[in-house]
A and B are shown apart, each in its own frame.
Chain A
Amino acid sequence: VSGGAGGLVAAVVQPLLLAAGSPLLIGVMRSVRARVEGRVGGGVLQPWRDLRKLLRKEPVSAAGTSWVFTAAPVVLMASSLVIAVVVPYLSTDAVLPGTGDLFAVVAVLLVGTVALTLAGLDTGTAFGGMGASREVTVAALVEPTVLLSVFALSVPAGSSNLAAIIRHRLSVPDTLAAPTSLLALVALVVVTIAETGRLPVDNPATHLELTMIHEAMVLEYAGRDLALVEWGSWMRLGVLLGLVANLFVPWGIAGTGDGTGWAAVTGGLLLAAVALVVKVGVLGALLAAVEVFLAKIRLFRVPELLAGSLVLAFLAVSAAYFLLPVE
């Protein structure tokens, strides 16, 4: 049994792990928030209970909507699943060549966003359009930061292939603490917050008309559709936090260096799974704890936040050139 088998197993296990774990991640984050605020909270399993309840309810389409409205939740979920397959979460041995490119991952993420915004417009309500408009604005302004961070991370590794980047960072641990890496980390965290609609860009708990972004867009969804929308959005948070975790704390991930044989491969993957769960859990808890102290900022202040992160990303790329030897 070679490392390739590990990669194959990882490609199957990763989406299952992230699909199952993302609701738990949300549960952990809500519990942390509740504890910090002095509440008891619904427990870690509450998101799963919500999903089960919603999946059993009948889907309701707003009158006058088209296939776009019905297809959007499926596309959102599918895009999150594809990312869970192609990003090296458990193993750096890619089994699907030509898909683990960071630029491609970012683009697939955007496909999910676009599906939801089109569905928001398809409802023909003011809320749907409002949410779609705001979501697209944020997504468009985030894009330069995302791609520049990708650039900054790929310069030292000489590739934008995720497995190559992670392998390079594992083999040269110095790069992890380099200015490039830290600047890119901050930029990517801002991106993750904006892309997943967390505070201070969007408040996932609000249903106040004037401030909501994501919730306004999906207001018309019910039952099974809503379950998929929620699940897909939670998975987005899971896959992005997992990506950030593996890029900046890559230890624990399985790879070709683990040796051959079923025991070594299985052990490596198990270790990687545990490491991923711990990393993402800690990151999520941190995020939730910080969110308690933040208020949502005005929509028209969001571009300022994103411009700031763009500057950081640009500095990261420049630092990659000026502070590190380039072959």
Chain B
Amino acid sequence: MSPAQLIPPDPIAAGVAGQAVLAVAAVVAAVVLPARSRAVAAGGLSALLGVGGLVTGVLALAGYEWSRGVRGVVPALDLTLRVDALSGVFCLVVGMVAAGAAVYGIGYVRPGANVHDHGGFRDHVRGVSPAGSRTAWAGFAVFVAGMQLVVVAGSAAAFVLGWELMAAASLLLVLTEHREHPAVRGAGLWYAGMTQLGFLAVLGCLAVLVVHAGAGDFATLRAASGTLGGSQQVVVAGLALVGFGSKAGMVPLHVWLPRAHPEAPSHVSAVMSGAMVKLGVYGLLRVGVDLLGGGLSGAGPSGAGLSGGGARAWGLIMLAVGAGSALYGILQAVVATDLKRLLAYSTTENVGLILVGVGAGQLLAASGRPELAAVAYVAALLHTVNHAAFKGLLFLGAGSVLRATGLRNLDALGGLVSRMPVTTSLVAVGALAAAALPPGNGFVSEWLLLQSLVHGQAAGGVTTALVMPAGVAVVALTAGLAVATFVKAFGTGFLARPRSAAAAAAVDCPPTMRAGMLLLAGAIAVLAVAPASLAPGLDRAAAVLLPQQNATVAGVAGSRADGVVGSGGGLALQGLSARLQPLLVLVLLVVAAVLVASVARLWGRPRRRDALAWGCGGERLSPRMEYTATSFAEPLQRVFGEVLHPEQDLAVIPTAAPYLDRRVRFSQRVGDAVETAAYRPALGLLWRLGESARGLAPGSVHRYVGYAFAALLAVLVAVSW
């Protein structure tokens, strides 16, 4: 049987249907089966659901498209499904992370039989973990299925349905451990508030489009967007930015991220950070670029609506928001001491980088350079996939540490390299990728992003000439600080000597957790050495975002903008002399390292001796003398003190003898400056409004009858207007 025969006539339809069946099966398994077999069955089925998404995504990237009108299942709702290459990218992202996280979850939710107790850290692991409950496993499957529905939706109703399934299921999952940790409740409240406000914005945005077009499927919306009025375009674009931006964790709508990600069970954090946040990017691309493309693109011959200026402004806004998110996210990450909070802020940073790519793409498309825009879009999409792989892996690694030690605080960790060797090695792979260093996969997409900005300057125009260098500077500073962040996270969290008893007694995680992490590490390896395998698919996805290209750039070879082509495993930019061969860089590094090591061994004395580290004349070093994560980040915190506003408290407690037994107590907290400056006052105002609104309801029936009468009058007046 040839491979061609193995693929069914409509492979995407089979993939989508398979995912639906698997999702239902996983939910049933989670609800019906007893605790003993629940994790394996529900986790296994969820993993298969993820693999289904992965395969569907790969097929969509390979060029298969599929659409199907689903009308009448729910009365008056058009639930059309549609899969193209752009959907494929995100299908792949969701499926990849979900598969790894589900396999990992099987071991993660098991009662920690091989875990010791240290000072009451881990009542929640010792007993039956709430993450292994019926609700949690069913919620996990619904969460993944909801995300896939968002991606394959071909109409506004299907999109909104998937969006709300995803939002509700993820909220449920964030609240999993609310009995064990009071902090979970606060995080849940923030997340609920932000995600539902975002949902309202998304709903409003799509409602305006649907009312204007008169139908709900995306093809009609796309065709009708060209005739949107100027103010309508602004409303739609603004609501899309708020709604999808809050899901993507874009500054200043990121405040839920550093709360919800740390408090959710770690395999859920991995899916939220690796996959769900990306759907905010998907929404921005699908609605903001694809659907609005007809109206906003300046290249249209009529120049109607906001035309070139509008598309340019939209691109500039995306660039500015992306750059701000990237910088603010990484600055918070570099000073964070909570491992999962650090990873959450790093997600904000990476989404910022993705948005920089999207913004550059829009700007270049508006300048009439679709081939350059395609490079920027491909960079953004490749970084989306790359970030999903490494951030998923890092959250799973953080979960292993949390399960083994009960700690997220880097200042109390350390020494895990000898106690949890497998987890440490896998986290090292993820950290290398997240720091955007070769030979990691993050480096490849950041290289592509930088190339698109450098070559973007050729598009001409003073705006471009100033924006592109500023973009490069921001990306570069972000990359530098990301290196500092992950050196800190890995160096203080996993290397050196343990700083607490809990860290000293850590043991490595069970096989299923390792398997889940290995899966994502494998994805990183593939993406790192053979990014070319994704290039044609990403070019197809970028072409979706440049629909008017054929009309405007006559003469460009081929029907789509081949921005980035694979060349022998590496990447090359079409028509530009920019090439990267990550595999060759890796081979060179390995060969050089082997050469150096063997020459040094042959030449020098091979025997190695252990001795005490230099203790400044003292004999033994105590772990308290080690640099901690806080002290490691202190110079950078001082340099960026104006942005971070750390709160420091130094209390000197004197005793009767002034030079003896004096105790000095230092504490420091770096809060979120955006939250303090914007959200606290707003929440306070809301609270005061609520308090004063009490006066409206004094309990008098006469007053209430009066209100009803006034409301009736107002409605009558409004109707007869």
Contacts and interface: CB of A to CB of B under 8 A. Distances in A.
Contact of A139 (B483, B571, B572): B483
A184 interface: no
Most buried by B among A55, A56, A147, A158: A147
A85 B588 contact: yes
Contacts of B437: 107, 110-111, 114
Contacts of B492: 121, 129
A121 B496 contact: yes
A299 B470 CA distance: 26
B660 interface: no
A314 B469 contact: yes
A56 B465 contact: no
Contacts of A151: 453-454, 469, 472
Given A66-B417, A107-B438, A122-B491, A127 B634 contact: no
A326 B631 CA distance: 47
A98 B476 contact: no
A140 B626 contact: no
B607 interface: yes
A132 B614 contact: no
Nearest to B612: A63
Nearest to B439: A111
B469 to A, nearest CB: 4
B613 A96 contact: no
B469 A327 contact: no
B480 interface: yes
B93 to A, nearest CB: 24
Contacts of B609: 58-61
B543 interface: no
Contacts of B556: none
Contact of A129 (B567, B592, B631): B631
Interface string B596-628: 110010011101111111110000010101111
A107 B625 CA distance: 32
A129 B626 contact: yes
B593 interface: yes
Most buried by B among A121, A134, A144, A326: A121
Contact of B613 (A125, A132, A303): A125
Contacts of B417: 66-68, 122
Given A62-B612, A63-B611, A159-B576, A137 B635 contact: yes
Interface string B76-115: 0000000000000000000000000000000000000000
Interface string A101-115: 101100110110110
Contacts of A61: 608-611
Contact of B600 (A137, A158, A228): A228
A143 B479 contact: yes
Contacts of A70: 608
Interface in A280-325: 299-300, 303, 310, 314, 317-318, 321-322
A161 B480 contact: no
A221 to B, nearest CB: 11
Contacts of B487: 114, 117-118, 121, 132, 136
Contacts of B571: 98
A141 interface: yes
B605 A57 contact: yes
Contact of B579 (A58, A59, A98, A133): A98
Interface stretch (A1-9, A74-82, A263-271): A74-82
B395 interface: no
Given A107-B447, A160-B450, 5 more contacts: A118-B490, A122-B495, A129-B492, A158-B577, A314-B470
Enumerate the 3 nearest inter-chain pairs by beta-carbon distance, A residue then B residue, closest first: A129-B627, A98-B581, A143-B480
27 contacts: A58-B605, A68-B417, A81-B592, A82-B592, A85-B588, A98-B570, A99-B584, A117-B487, A124-B497, A124-B613, A124-B621, A129-B632, A132-B487, A136-B632, A140-B636, A141-B480, A143-B477, A144-B472, A144-B477, A148-B472, A151-B469, A159-B578, A160-B451, A160-B454, A220-B614, A223-B605, A310-B473
